[in-house]
Structure 1
Amino acid sequence: MISAGSSRTRQAASAAGGVRRMRWTKDMNANALRAYYRAKGKETAGIAYRARMHCFFAELEPSIPVTEQNLADRVRNIMRSKIFDDTELERLRREAIPSSNELATAGDEAPQATDQLSRVEAAMDLPVVGDSDDDEMVSHELEQMRSILEEAILETRSMPLENRPRLPRIPLSKRNRAVVRALNPMLVTYLEASRDLCETDSVLFGAAVAACRIIGAKLSMAGRATKQSSAIPAWRKRIQDRIANARALIGRLISFRSGNNRPRVVRTVRMAFAGTNISLSQPDITQKLTERIDDLKQKVAAWGKRIHRFTERSRRFNQNRLFQSDQKRLYKSLERPEVCGAGPGPDQANTVAFWRGLWSEPVNHSEGPWTEVVASQCASITPMDPIIIMPDDVAEAVRRAPNWKSPDSTDCITTG
């Protein structure tokens, strides 16, 4: 009896002189499912069962030459085309699973890690490979992941905490979860051998680094500390380039005005006057050169002031923001170590003598006639009453000032 989907799902077998089509009967389809259930057992995913399924099908149908991939495709087509109903599928399953006890040893020969990684590969939605080397490929992937994990753990063990890379956020996907599930059993050996909490932390961090490397996420190896970027803004770099080009052009123009008629200098001068009606042979070329040089100098000064204004504005903005958040830190940044507390303080007698020599000694200055005019105009002004500042007045003025802003015995504002 020919199955309903056999006309669409015929397998090709190599034959001399061309390709021979083969029709699948219902018994052949049933034997394919029996071999599938017998090799699969209670597994729900993975491709490591294909070799066993191929062996079981060869025992049931020794006269049919079929490859592992063709057999797997045939089983998948049977499931999709609903050749057998649910009752028949359950009957074939019950017939196949008890008989699998005879080859339980053969089914257990594959390492447990191999089956585990094969399930991971299936969860990662990788394309199905149609070779008989599927088990070898799975083992190779597993060994590669294990070597990456071991290398990452060895690196993080001897790495200081401040030098550890910052771990990126890994998006949630089926593939990334499968990688993490595959790495979890590999950590058992390292975690059991850890002696303290620090070593456990390094093992877990190394596993996270290994997962990022396997997935392909980028790791920042510059350390965890986020350093402030010192990159020059693009607009500022453009202005600096304009200033450099203008200064170079000014130098060429001055050189040409001084009598340097080299071809390279002349070519630059012609480019400077391009688009104008100025010729280098006209009589007033020297005046035109001077005007052009002055114009470029004014542009350079304007560009430099633009950068200076932005720098000053940024400095004031940062200081105001720091003053609102942390005044102590602002005052500490304004201190000058070479002035505050640098060396012994001056002697009191020498200080008094110095300032007394400045203000108490009469000095005859050479005053112009305008000083007499100013003095005559100010003669009618009533002098201000003398003010005597007592220590109590000073104490009252500084009573509400924060003590960490007041000068200490060295007359320097401290922030400690």
Structure 2
Amino acid sequence: MHRLFAELEPSVTVTEQNLADRVRYILRSNTFDVTELERLRREAVPSSGENAAAEDAAPQLAEQTANLDAAVNTPVVVDSNDDGTVAQELELEQMRSTLEEAIVETRSTTLENRPRLPRLAQSKQNRAVVRALNPMLVTYLEASRDLCDTDSILFGAALAVCRIIGAKLSTAGRATGQSSAIPAWRIRIEERIAKARGPHRQTDMLQPDIMQKLTERIDDLKQRIAAWGKRIRRYTERSTRFNQNRLFQSDQKRLYKSLERPIVSGTGPAPNQADMVAFWRSLWSEPVNHNEGPWTEVVASQCASITPMDPVIITPDDVAEAVRRAPELEKSGA
């Protein structure tokens, strides 16, 4: 390595020991990040047009490698951080494996069953992971067949980033509907109601006050069932309000969309066109004389002495000026 450095930089005087120390310092201080190491790794792989030249230069490369190993392995005092590059290479290989698994999984998963990706923070660690995975996507994107495959590759890359940094992923798919699981408290109350409505143990019909006891028992069960039903309705309304408030804080558009009532169309036969025309014509086309009574004449005579107000003409400039001075309001559901 010292001989190669002397050939490249003949004006710089440096000893073999000094050069080896500088190499170790660069390796320990992590001067090159994972993106730069990935780029150097891809540049180190010879292309198809350079295979012949690489074969001719194999003995020289072996000699250079031996010189480099001899220079690096010079007996000096070093610490345990010299294997930082090896750890980075292993980390890159693990990232590449995670990326490949995520892309294969995304290609075999339908759009509805894909997990919902969380929003990631713009931290230094997350940006470093993204920069490390970007060069790895070049091979997949160049071999992409169509737009759907490109979408699968990009989604797989985002999924790989989430898995590498340890972000939580929802495994229930991307469906936005609420869960159909019934709460435990509702199951317990419904079981009590079913038990109260079910058959009871037989009562001795020979008792003299049996009818009075049956009546009291029936009234007691009716009151309990009514109380339990009100409790279910009260808990359901409270849960609905809680979910709506939480959805309003996170996604107002989804909340307003969930509050829309479905359009209910009539179930009977459609009316005849002639009947429709006759109905609306009787309301709007035929003149009607209304008898308002004498009080209208009294009010008209009292208002005769009032000076009418001058007509107000609003121009587009007036509207623009009013809108400009008005405070901005947040659009609902935007």
TM tier, shorter chain? 0.3 to 0.5
Q: TM-score, normalised by structure 1?
A: 0.39
Q: Bigger relative contact order, structure 1 or 2, given CA contacts below 8 A and separation 6+?
A: 2
Q: TM-score, normalised by structure 2?
A: 0.47
